[in-house]
Amino acid sequence: METTAPQLFKITFDGIEIEVPPGTTIMQAARQLGPKYAPPAMCYYEPLKGTGGKCRACLVKVTAGSAKDPRPMPKLIPSCITTVQDGMEVENTTNESVLEARKGIVEFLLINHPLDCPVCDQAGECHLQDFAFEHGRVTTRYEEERRTFEKHDIGPYVQLHMTRCILCYRCVFTADQITNKRVHGVLNRGDHAEISTYIEKAIDNDFSGNVIDVCPVGALTDKTYRFKNRVWFTKPVEAHCDCEKCSGKVTLWYRGDEVIRVTARKNEWGEVKEFICNTCRFERKKTSEWTIEEPTKISRHSVIMANKYRADLKKPDFGLKVAAAQYKEIDDSRPYLTDNNTIRELSKENNAKANQRSLAENN
Partner 1 sequence: MAVKILTEHINVPNINTFEVYRKMGGYTAVEKALKTMTPEEVVEEVKKSGVRGRGGAGFPMGMKWSFLAKPEGVPRYLVCNADESEPGTFKDHYLMREIPHLLIEGMIVSSFALGAKKSFIYVRGELMYVIKILEKAIAEATAAGFLGKNILGSGYDLELVVQPGGGAYICGEETALLESLEGKRGNPRNKPPFPAVKGLYQSPTVVNNVESIANTPWIINNGGETYAGLGVGRSTGTKLISASGHINKPGVYEIPLGITVEDFIYADEWCGGIRPGHHLKAVIAGGSSVPILPAKLILNLANGDKRLMTYESLSDGGFATGTMLGSGGFIAMDETACIVRNTWTFARFYHHESCGQCSPCREGTGWMDKVLERIETGKGNMRDIDLLVDVAKKIEGNTICPLGDAAAWPIASAIRHFRSEFEWHITHPQEATQPGAVYRGEMELV
Query: 96 or 345, CB closer to partner 1?
Result: 96
Distances (CA, A) of 146 to 40, 109, 123, 149, 163: 25, 12, 20, 10, 9
3-state SS assignment for residue 118: helix
Q: How far is the CB of 135 from partner 1 (least distance, A)?
A: 13
Residues 6+ apart with CB under 8 A from 154: 160, 184, 197, 202, 203
Q: Which long-range contacts (CB under 8 A, 24 or more apart) does 306-314 make?
A: 306/232, 307/232, 307/233, 308/235
Nearest-approach distance from CB 303 to partner 1, in angstroms: 24
- Specify the residue, 131 or 290, whose C-beta has the smaller distance to partner 1: 131
**Applying CB under 8 A, does 188 fall inside the site for partner 1?**
yes
* Binding residue for partner 1, selected from 20, 26, 84, 105, defined by CB under 8 A: 105
Q: Kindly provide the b/e burial profile for residues 262-278, where b requires at least 16 CB atoms within 10 angstroms of the residue's own CB.
A: bbbbbeeeebbeebbbb
Does position 67 interact with partner 1 (CB under 8 A)? The reply is: no
167 belongs to the binding site for partner 1 (CB under 8 A): yes
Stretch that binds partner 1, among 49-57, 176-184, 250-258, 297-305 (CB under 8 A): 49-57
Radius of gyration in angstroms for the set of CA atoms belonging to the chain, rounded to a whole number: 24
Question: In whole angstroms, how close is the CB of 39 to partner 1 at the nearest point?
Answer: 14
Residue from the set 104, 114, 270, 295 that interacts with partner 1 by CB under 8 A: 104
Question: 3-state class of 347 per DSSP?
Answer: helix
DSSP H helices, the chain, are 26-33, 96-111, 127-135, 170-178, 210-214, 278, 318-326, 340-362
The yes or no reply on residue 75 touching partner 1 (CB under 8 A) is: yes
Options 107, 204, 238, 289; binder of partner 1; rule CB under 8 A: 107
**171 is an interface residue for partner 1 by CB under 8 A:** no
Nearest to 128 by CA among 213, 231, 53, 42: 42
Q: For partner 1, which residue of 33, 81, 117, 243 counts as binding (CB under 8 A)?
A: 81
The answer to whether residue 310 forms part of the interface with partner 1 (CB under 8 A) is no
112 vs 251, which CB is nearer to partner 1? 112
Residue 182 beta carbon to partner 1: minimum distance, rounded to whole angstroms = 12
Check residue 141 for interaction with partner 1 (CB under 8 A). Answer: yes
Residue 101 C-beta: closest distance to partner 1, Å: 6
How far is Cα 98 from Cα 106, in angstroms, rounded to an integer?
12
What is each CA distance from 159 to 243, 267, 361, in whole angstroms?
25, 24, 39
For partner 1, the closer CB: 97 or 291: 97
For residue 214, which phi and psi values (nearest 5 degrees)? Answer: -80, -20
Site membership for partner 1, residue 73 (CB under 8 A): no
Listed in sequence order, the residues at least 6 apart from 315 whose beta carbon sits closer than 8 Å to its beta carbon are: none
Give the strands of the sheet with 258-264, arranged side by side. Answer: 258-264, 249-255, 235-240, 291-295
Q: Pick one of 9, 30, 44, 78: the residue that binds partner 1 (CB under 8 A).
A: 78
Of 4-12, 102-110, 201-209, 348-356, the segment contacting partner 1 by CB under 8 A is 102-110
The footprint of partner 1 (CB under 8 A) covers 42, 52-57, 59, 74-76, 78, 81, 100-101, 104-105, 107-109, 111-112, 141-142, 144-145, 147, 166-167, 169, 185-186, 188-193
